[in-house]
């Protein structure tokens, strides 16, 4: 059953190679001139497939109060607290 599932997934456009999957991270780590606080990933249908480029972020992603609340929640949920 596992082999069949992997075979089926490899035929669908929802799966890609590890190399293609890592490309956004490699691009962000090595390319010059990328915008800070931007999302880079697939730019195709629903930003889930397609060529890598600058994606769209929702307005609340830039909201300082939301960022602070998300960070605090992440620290609680993970048990990790950054040293100040």
Per-residue pLDDT tens digits of the chain, which is 84 residues long: 999 988 888 787 777 778 888 888 998 999 999 988 888 988 888 887 788 899 988 888 889 999 999 999 999 999 988 776
* Full DSSP string of 2-70: HHHHHHHHHHSTT---HHHHHHHHHHHHH-SSPPTT--EEE-SGGGTSSSEEE----GGGG-HHHHHHH
What's the confidence (pLDDT) of residue 43? 87
């Amino acid at each position: 059953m596992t082999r069949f599932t992997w075979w089926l997934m490899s035929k669908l456009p929802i799966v890609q190679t590890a190399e293609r999957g890592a490309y956004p991270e490699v691009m962000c780590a090595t390319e010059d001139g990328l915008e800070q606080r931007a999302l880079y990933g697939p730019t195709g249908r629903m930003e889930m497939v397609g060529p890598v480029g600058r994606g769209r972020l929702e307005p609340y992603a830039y909201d300082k109060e939301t960022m602070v609340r998300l960070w605090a929640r992440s620290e609680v949920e993970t048990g990790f607290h950054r040293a100040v």
